Amino acid sequence: MSVRTVDVIIVGASLSAAAAAKRLVDAGLETIVLERKELPRHKICSGILSPRGHRFLLENFGPLPRETLHEPTSCRGVTFHFPSMVSMPMDFFGGSTPHLHRKYSDYWAIKSSGAEVHDRTSFAGLEDNGDHVLVHARRQGEPVEYRARQVIGADGPSSLVIRSIYPDYPQTIPWFFVGQKFHDIIDCPLDPDYFHFWFHPGLGHYTWSHARDGRQIVGVGFKRGDNFAKKHENVVNYLADKHGVRLQPHTEDEGCGENFGPSLINRYVFGKGNVLITGQAAGFLNMIGEGMSCALHSGAICGEAVVEARARNRPMQEMYRSMIASEVRRTTDQWNPLKIAFERPHEADFPAALMALGWRDRAKVLRDMWRFIVLYKEFKWGRQMFRAAMQRPLIGGYSMQRWL
């Protein structure tokens, strides 16, 4: 079996991988991206990219081709809905933002990065030997090997790269399931220009709906082990009762596991030795579950760290952790109650939308939000979030000691 020797192997072909590959290829490093599926491949995602992520794509890969977008091509903002039937529409800062068709946007980005992509090639394990990493993979069932100076795990929440270096990690965090079903629309009063999110503990940990390609997506996230069909049916009935949304039975459905949590409590995973973890695999997730923009930025930082560490002859992990601190601040700030109360860490203005309500509705919203937050009590994140929030002004960031 021949061994292909390159500078860097990236596992996964999503947006964080494309961003990392872009930095590495620009710097002249020979980079191979391993993707287990055949490209272009389907990806479960809302596709609502934040304006910051849009700017990153524009600056690094150019204007988005039409085929990388769903219909409607853009999303104006987010509408929060509460059990008390108060709704708060909030426009994104800087204007509308793309509704990405992940199958083609990811393909476009990874191709534009200039990296060599080996699709239908599954990561199977690695050995970090200090001066190089041996990567084992399977291509259409046959074993293949790569030898690289560094490996970047950009393979999403259920990361096989993380499992190869921290086999017990998946058992140490709570797992969620998020699923969405696609419905033809009979009547839908929900504004198609907005992404709709429900702070309703009776519906699920993460409940959303938005328009896509003439259909309505109804999605729900919950602790793994619960029943997707029942949860979904509950949401559909609620939308019909409370919002007058009338939908045909779903025609398609999909779902995946999510590592919702590390961003809230500053428990990111950045790897060890010559193996670096980035994107949602590392735990980056913005509020309302938008992970693409922080995947893009963390992926780019990961690529930069490899380049910088080589150029300065500094330890890889030290360089990566020092550079990624800014993205950690930006992401975890979004979950920091002090930041939410006194600053504007999000790309839409929640405090302004709240203040635009009458005082009765404001009180209802705060009460409903508190009841929703209590839903997460079992994960014991509250104290950890509080500690992180206190740390932020004292040390100017979040403790690196908590990172894996």
φ, ψ at 326 (rounded to 5°): -65, -35
CB nearer to other proteins: give 39 or 340: 39
Q: Does 40 bind other proteins (CB under 8 A)?
A: yes
Q: Does 95 bind other proteins (CB under 8 A)?
A: yes
Q: Which of 14, 77, 106, 107 binds other proteins (CB under 8 A)?
A: 107
Question: What span, in angstroms and rounded, lies between the C-alpha atoms of 21 and 302?
Answer: 9
DSSP, collapsed to helix, strand or coil, labels residue 36 as coil
CB nearer to other proteins: give 64 or 239: 64
- The answer to whether the peptide bond before residue 72 is cis (omega within 30 degrees of 0) is yes
For the chain, count helices (H), then strands (E).
13, 17
Question: What span, in angstroms and rounded, lies between the C-alpha atoms of 397 and 404?
Answer: 17
Contact 286, 293 (CB under 8 A): yes
For residue 359, with 0-12 CB atoms within 10 Å meaning exposed, 13-18 middle and 19 or more buried, which class applies? Answer: exposed
For residue 185, with 0-12 CB atoms within 10 Å meaning exposed, 13-18 middle and 19 or more buried, which class applies? Answer: middle
CB nearer to other proteins: give 258 or 308: 308
Question: What span, in angstroms and rounded, lies between the C-alpha atoms of 300 and 99?
Answer: 21
In the complex, what is the shortest distance from the CB of residue 386 to other proteins, in angstroms, rounded to a whole number?
A: 24
CB nearer to other proteins: give 203 or 296: 296
Q: Which of 6, 89, 119, 379 binds other proteins (CB under 8 A)?
A: 119
Q: Torsion-angle region of residue 47: left (phi > 0), alpha (psi -120 to 50) or beta?
A: left
CB nearer to other proteins: give 52 or 250: 52
Q: Which residues 191-230 are close enough to bind other proteins by CB under 8 A?
A: none
In the complex, what is the shortest distance from the CB of residue 26 to other proteins, in angstroms, rounded to a whole number?
A: 5
Q: Does 89 bind other proteins (CB under 8 A)?
A: no
Looking up tokens 């039937």 gives 85
In the complex, what is the shortest distance from the CB of residue 340 to other proteins, in angstroms, rounded to a whole number?
A: 18
Question: What span, in angstroms and rounded, lies between the C-alpha atoms of 329 and 89?
Answer: 26
Q: Which of 14, 18, 23, 156 binds other proteins (CB under 8 A)?
A: 23
In the complex, what is the shortest distance from the CB of residue 216 to other proteins, in angstroms, rounded to a whole number?
A: 20
Q: Does 14 bind other proteins (CB under 8 A)?
A: no
**Nearest Cα to Cα of residue 286 among 254, 262, 322:** 262
Q: Does 64 bind other proteins (CB under 8 A)?
A: yes
Q: Does 277 bind other proteins (CB under 8 A)?
A: no
Contact 17, 152 (CB under 8 A): yes
Q: Does 116 bind other proteins (CB under 8 A)?
A: yes
CB nearer to other proteins: give 36 or 181: 36
HSE (side-chain half, CA atoms, 13 Å) at 79: 17
Looking up tokens 């919203």 gives 365
φ, ψ at 85 (rounded to 5°): 70, 25
Q: Does 1 bind other proteins (CB under 8 A)?
A: no
Q: Does 393 bind other proteins (CB under 8 A)?
A: no
Q: Which residues 305-344 are close enough to bind other proteins by CB under 8 A?
A: 307-308, 311, 314, 319, 322-324, 326-327
Residue 357 is classified by DSSP as S
Q: Does 400 bind other proteins (CB under 8 A)?
A: no
In the stretch 125-154, what mask flags binding to other proteins with x, by CB under 8 A? --------------xx-x------------
DSSP, collapsed to helix, strand or coil, labels residue 377 as helix
- The answer to whether the peptide bond before residue 40 is cis (omega within 30 degrees of 0) is yes
CB nearer to other proteins: give 178 or 319: 319
Q: 206-212 and 77-81 as β-strands: parallel, antiparallel, unpaired?
A: unpaired
* Chain-centre distance for alpha carbon 67: 21
Stretch that binds other proteins, among 62-70, 77-85, 148-156, 344-352 (CB under 8 A): 62-70
Q: Does 120 bind other proteins (CB under 8 A)?
A: yes
Q: Does 263 bind other proteins (CB under 8 A)?
A: no
Q: Which of 9, 12, 22, 372 binds other proteins (CB under 8 A)?
A: 22
Q: Does 39 bind other proteins (CB under 8 A)?
A: yes
Q: Which residues bind other proteins (CB under 8 A)?
A: 22-23, 25-28, 38-40, 51, 54-55, 58-67, 69, 73-74, 76, 94-98, 104, 107-108, 110-112, 114, 116-121, 139-140, 142, 297, 300-301, 304, 307-308, 311, 314, 319, 322-324, 326-327, 396
